[in-house]
Amino acid sequence: MIIKKLHEAGLRSEHAYLAAVGSIGLSLSSWLASSRRENLERADRWGIFVGEWAPTFFALGLALANYERDETAQPDA
């Protein structure tokens, strides 16, 4: 039901996949920036916090891709 609503709102699987890849890059850059300004433990926490978004976005992209596939496989009524 949530996936259907997200799809109807215009979110596509490609958007979720791009968000996942972007969060990986953001994780690396936030870790690098934080490690230069703060202690290493805090930098690790920032990198891990942002890095945990990627699996969620990949799972959302997979769910949307499955919904899109099923939607195109059903004949119009």
Pair 13, 68: CB distance under 8 Å: yes
Tokens of 54: 């990627």
pLDDT, tens digit, 9 for 90 and up, residues 12-51: 999 999 999 999 999 888 888 877 777 777 777 877 888 8
Tokens of 42: 């805090």
Q: What is the pTM of this model?
A: 0.80
Pair 68, 7: CB distance under 8 Å: yes
More confident residue, 74 or 77: 74
